[in-house]
């Protein structure tokens, strides 16, 4: 067990529950590397090491499976730190992150990945093609910790550091890595060194990583859906492959912001009405915990289309958007309602990016099929298909 790991009393409250913090694979790799460097230079095994994370939380982490090898001209030290994800549902919880360190006559700390650490095969990610998928902040943490050991122990050479995660290749199938072109294992991640439970930042970072990948492949016009419904609809109706589509989850506004920073020229969203009805009121995070005004928005637009009070009352009692649509279909005003809503959706999409990106949307229902599209949707669709045809 870790002693005084610095996380006591550190938690967030979500849905009225206290959720404990954890620490990242990057922190594990840095702590294991620090311990291995100490063991290599001192010849003594280490039980615990302290690690100051970028977030400013001091960890005291237990060192597992320490070995020092010095025979037949081979000299290295290796040890592991067990990942602790707190109350975050992370696939890497309890995995061992190993670091093997050996001396190098040249100056500096040279970092690479071993078994179970993925390797980058496509441009546009945090690391260049060919590098181990050990992101920038963990690399800096590892380098800083090993450099301190070298200086403190007056060693005049450099060190090679190999990070490995034996379970990594198996775990990678449960992550975005295969989709992102990271092969052979998982990534060593973390920007703060600390895992905050159910972190929205982590999900948004994964969306940005996938978007960066598409941009690095030369795409300037992107097809984006909130989730699987939109992906399935785009594949079935517009001839796209899943790999052509980016999923934004509920973070429509954040996705648009990231696209602006990546200098994207245009986005076509394909979305189920249950998500994008909220865009007609300018709601840019469509998660139900942030906003659930589906019926209110539909009712307001139905009122504008001339629906009578009884129809509006019936709609307000609906649980799903498809239920409400069935009433609009019954009253033969569904098209009128969507004709009112689609320009509003386009307005708020353009407002978010200050019209710096061409924005369009196609909205559908699983029951009623396509419900509406913005006036520029066809043009955006053509531009997206042309880019994909060039790549093929």
What would the pLDDT profile of 205-256 be if each residue is shown by its tens digit?
Answer: 889 999 999 999 999 999 999 988 999 999 999 999 999 999 999 999 999 9
The CATH code for residues 11-195 is 3.30.2110.10
Task: Note whether 60 and 4 are within 8 A (CB).
Answer: yes
DSSP code of residue 197: T
What string of DSSP letters covers 99-135?
A: EEEEEESSSSEEEEE-TEE-EE-STTSSS-TTSBSB-
CB 164 within 8 A of CB 30: no
C-alpha distances in angstroms, 277 versus 115, 356, 391? 46, 23, 34
CB neighbour burial string for 13-32, b if at least 16 within 10 angstroms, e if fewer? eeeeeebbbbbbbbbbbbbb
Q: What is the pLDDT of residues 340-368, one digit of tens each?
A: 999 999 999 999 999 999 999 999 999 99
What is the pTM (predicted TM-score) of this model? 0.75
Phi and psi at residue 294, to the nearest 5°: -55, -50
Task: Give the tokens for residue 12.
Answer: 């967030």
Cβ within 8 Å of residue 16, ≥6 positions away: none
Residues 229, 237: Cα–Cα separation, whole Å? 12
Query: What pLDDT is recorded for position 125?
Result: 83
Kindly report, as residue ranges, where domains of CATH 3.30.2110.10 are found in the chain: 11-195
The two three-digit tokens of residue 275, written as one number: 């998500």
Residue 326, pLDDT score: 96
Contacts for 103 with CB less than 8 Å, ≥ 6 apart: 40, 75, 155, 157, 158, 159, 160
The number of angstroms, rounded, from the C-alpha of 174 to the middle of its chain's C-alpha atoms is: 13
* Of 274, 283, 255, residue with least CA distance to 359: 255
139-153 in b/e form (b: 16+ CB < 10 A) is bebbbebbeebbeee
Tens of each residue's pLDDT in the chain, 392 residues: 444 467 776 777 665 677 889 999 999 999 999 999 999 999 999 999 999 999 999 999 999 999 999 877 789 999 999 999 988 878 999 999 999 999 998 899 999 999 999 999 988 888 999 999 999 999 999 999 999 999 999 999 999 999 999 999 999 998 878 878 899 999 999 989 998 886 677 788 889 999 999 999 999 999 999 988 999 999 999 999 999 999 999 999 999 999 999 999 999 999 999 999 999 999 999 987 788 899 999 999 999 999 999 999 999 998 889 999 999 999 999 999 999 999 999 999 999 999 999 999 999 999 999 999 999 999 999 999 999 887 76
């Amino acid at each position: 067990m870790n002693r005084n790991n610095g996380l006591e009393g550190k938690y967030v409250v979500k849905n009225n529950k206290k959720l404990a913090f954890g620490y990242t694979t990057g922190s594990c790799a840095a702590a294991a590397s620090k311990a291995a460097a100490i063991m290599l230079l001192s010849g003594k095994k280490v039980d615990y090491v302290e690690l100051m994370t970028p977030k400013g939380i001091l960890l005291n982490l237990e060192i597992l499976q320490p070995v020092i090898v010095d025979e037949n001209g081979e000299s290295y030290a290796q040890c592991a730190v067990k990942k602790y994800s707190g109350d975050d549902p992370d696939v890497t919880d309890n995995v061992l992150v190993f670091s093997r360190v050996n001396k190098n006559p040249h100056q500096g700390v040279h970092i690479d990945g071993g078994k179970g650490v993925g390797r980058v095969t496509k441009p546009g990610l945090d690391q260049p093609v060919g590098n181990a998928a050990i992101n920038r902040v963990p690399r800096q943490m590892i380098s800083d910790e090993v450099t301190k050991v070298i200086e403190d122990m007056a060693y005049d050479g450099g060190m090679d550091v190999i990070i490995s995660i034996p379970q990594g290749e198996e775990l990678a199938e449960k992550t975005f890595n295969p989709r992102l072109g990271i092969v052979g294992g998982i990534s060593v991640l973390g920007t703060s060194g600390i895992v905050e439970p159910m972190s929205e930042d982590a999900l948004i970072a994964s969306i940005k990583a996938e978007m960066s990948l598409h941009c690095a492949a030369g795409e300037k016009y992107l097809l984006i859906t909130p989730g699987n419904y939109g992906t399935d609809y785009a594949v079935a109706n517009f001839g796209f492959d899943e790999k052509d589509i980016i999923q934004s989850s509920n973070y429509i506004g954040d996705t648009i912001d990231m696209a602006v920073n990546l200098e994207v020229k245009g986005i076509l969203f394909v979305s189920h009405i249950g998500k994008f009805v909220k865009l007609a009121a300018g709601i840019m995070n469509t998660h139900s915990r942030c906003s659930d005004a589906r019926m209110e928005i539909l009712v307001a637009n139905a009122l504008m289309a001339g629906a009578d009070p009884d129809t509006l009352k019936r709609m307000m009692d609906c649980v799903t958007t498809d239920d409400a649509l069935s009433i609009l279909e019954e009253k033969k005003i569904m098209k009128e309602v969507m004709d009112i809503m689609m320009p509003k959706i386009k307005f708020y999409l353009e407002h978010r990016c200050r019209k710096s990106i061409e924005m369009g949307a196609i909205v559908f229902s699983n029951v009623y099929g396509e419900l509406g599209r913005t006036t520029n949707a066809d043009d955006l669709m053509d531009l997206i298909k042309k880019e994909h045809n060039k790549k093929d």
